[in-house]
Structure 1
Amino acid sequence: MSDQSPITDPYAYLNIVKNPDGSITRDVTNLPRASATPDPSSLNPVVFKDIPVNHSKSTYLRLYIPTATVNDGDSSQKLPLVIYYHGGGFILGSVDFILFHDFCSDMARDLNAIVVSASYRLAPEHRLPAAYDDGIEALDWIRKSDDDWIRSHADFTNVYLMGTSAGGNLAYTVGLRSVDSDLSPLQIRGLILHHPFFGGEERCGSEIRLVNDQVCPPVVADVFWDLSLPIGSDRDHEYSNPTVGGGSEKLEKIEELKWKVMVIGGEEDPVVDRQRDFSEFVKKKGIEVTERFTGGDVHGAEILDPSKRGSLFASIRDFVSSSSAL
């Protein structure tokens, strides 16, 4: 909040150290991880397994599916497919971090959907667009996959790209790129952007109002962009600020394809005004946008507080239902 003490050392806040060669050393010892549990005989309502995508990049997917679906063995009832990208400012995060893992597991259960959480290479060792490239590669892997859980139970005509924070930015950009790609038999119905992370050179109103925010203050966001954008770029690059960048023709294609977009944010997030501006930008292209901005919520609220997930997933379930009915 704005009346709290400012964060003066964003590197210490993030537990990272910048090295002379441009890489960073990350201390993630305080972030527990979850191992895969692929056995459908377990008592868990959702089972999950890890599948490699590209060995040379060390990228992989964590695939979540309701246990009852696997045990029933009925391949006639196909489930919506949600392809999810985790957050972390493009420099941190992993699909097996408990915060993201539990979120995806709960989502698969509450939506009765298959959720595929895709890893991607991190900056600054792999600056953008590396993460976007990996996001597209994950889509390509899924559409060609012979994995039994996917082939038997995923509805390839009812697919959604989703991400949290940097993952929301990633889901949007992957969506833009995918309109020029052959994704058959995948049919994307919509984008679900959960607290999407956008930026810009000039401070927006919410960044000024929440300058001392304790979750994702502007000074921390600046470090994220400094380490992840192409060298020499500023925060008005199209990767961080889509409202001043390109993509208009691809947005027109998204409108032609009748994709829907859901933008989710919290009023106590310094990025909320950028999310609202993005939403208006997309609406002006004729795309149907569902907005969910909740009072009192910080950046990534539902990741940090499991008690908030039920109402969020209910809203997403309604969005999926309305999009799949088209």
Structure 2
Amino acid sequence: MAGDTAPHVVEDLLGLVQILSDGSVVRGDESVLGPKEPFPDVPGVEWKDVVYHAAHGLRVRVYRPTSVVAGGDKLPVLVYFHGGGYCLGSFAQPTFHAFCLRAAAELPAVVLSVQYRLAPEHRLPAAIDDGAAFLSWLRGQAELGAGADPWLAESACFARTFLSGVSAGANLSHHLIVQVGSARLAVSPVRVVGYVLLSAFFTGAERTAAETDPPADVFLPLELSDQLWHMSLPVGASRDHPVANPFGPESPNLAPVELPPALVVAPLGDVLRDRSLGYAARLKDMGKDVELVEFEGQQHGFSVLQPFGEAADELMRVLRRFVYPAR
């Protein structure tokens, strides 16, 4: 009827996140995106959830191989941020959980899978702020020594910490490594010795070749990527916003930043592949230590879409070499 002001949907993301005309957000059940069959178990790994930010109710899922509990040497720490375009996803979802179980068992490592706030309820840079808060929490754990969380005190070698993430989580890892490398975020006695970008979620106002002429049957269509950025960036921001485009006109110059070695994993069946390839090329041009590994025919996020597939097996071997370069 005329004058009816009932809230209505003004933006819909896959039926899972809806922004209403009054600014409120309605969320659906993301389990529909999950695997149809449960993933196999990974023996020899234990895990638990620990609160790292009480005010926001944020947790980290801690994974460690049971073998380290039996008196072995302390293990490197792999901090991991899940994907979902900053609007979807959870550290507890089966896809991300399975990847972290494998990484803990097969690297081996203490894996810390970090929860962060999602857009559009919490637009960027909220997620990056949460990542920084987590690293500050981790620094506090390292400073506590024997008084830290027992699993970390017993098992974690804080001096061998790696940042990593898939898709939006890779984007988040990039921004945190820049904060650490430019001394804007103090983490000592934690020492970040490398970072891993898996299917990085970057964009820009100017289209790349793969975005203009996408590979066939992409898992992440360009229209969906654009929508995720529209719903997660500050209202009115362009795709050249510094969070979205690491080499945009307003982005910081990375040349003077002390970056640790980087591992960039680029699936070539991804519409965003040129973003990862370009990222690695730009770092190499700056003289940074970067290893680029391309996965022919693989989709965006293959490491979690098929966490027990052949490509994921090869990725685990690549990760192991990166985390343990002397082996």
TM-score category of the 2 structures, normalised to the smaller one: 0.7 to 0.9
1:246 is aligned, of 251, 272, 281, to 251
User: In structure 1, what is the equivalent of residue 231 of structure 2?
Assistant: 227
Which structure 2 segments of 5+ residues have no match?
1-10, 36-40, 142-147
Counterpart of 1:86?
Answer: 82
Once residues 281 and 23 of structure 1 are traced to their aligned partners in structure 2, the CA distance between those partners, rounded to angstroms, is: 40
Q: Which sections of structure 1, spanning at least 5 residues, go unmatched?
A: 1-9, 34-41
Counterparts of 2:277 and 2:232 in 1: how far apart (Å)?
A: 23
Q: Secondary structure at the match of 2:258?
A: helix
1: distance between equivalents of 2:13 and 2:186? 43
Question: What is the aligned partner in structure 1 of residue 98 from structure 2?
Answer: 102
**Aligned pair in 2 of structure 1 residues 32, 302: CA closer, same or farther (>3 Å)?**
closer
Aligned: 1:44 with 2:43: yes
Q: Which residue of 1 aligns with 2:4?
A: none
238-247 or 47-56, larger mean C-alpha shift: 238-247
What residue number does 1:6 align with? none
User: RMSD between aligned alpha carbons?
Assistant: 2.1
Deviation of residue 12 (structure 1)? Answer: 5.6
CA contact (8 A) 1:264 1:291 kept: yes
Q: Deviations over 1:249-288 (max 9, x none)?
A: 5x52324xxx101110111100001111111122222111
Per the alignment, residue 304 of structure 1 pairs with 305
- State the TM-score, normalizing by the size of structure 2: 0.86
Please say if 1:280 is aligned against 2:281. Answer: yes
Match runs of 1:1-326 below 5 Å: 11=12, 13=14, 15-27=16-28, 28-31=30-33, 44-70=43-69, 72-74=70-72, 77-145=73-141, 146-179=148-181, 180=183, 181-210=185-214, 213-244=217-248, 245-248=250-253, 251-255=255-259, 259-305=260-306, 306-307=308-309, 308-322=311-325
Contact 1:22-1:125 at 8 Å conserved across structures: no
Q: How many residues align?
A: 300
What is the CA-CA distance between 1:153 and the residue it aligns to? Answer: 1.3
Q: Tell me the amino acid that sits aligned with residue 107 of structure 2.
A: L
Kindly provide the amino acid, as one letter, of the partner of residue 123 in structure 1: A
Which is further off, 169-178 or 277-286?
277-286
Is the CA contact (8 Å cut-off) linking 2:218 and 2:299 kept in structure 1?
no
Tell me if the contact between 2:229 and 2:239 (Cα under 8 Å) persists in the aligned partners: yes
Q: Report the Cα offset of residue 156 of structure 1.
A: 1.2
Residue 37 of structure 1 aligns with which residue?
Answer: none
- Percent identity reads 34
TM-score (norm 1): 0.87
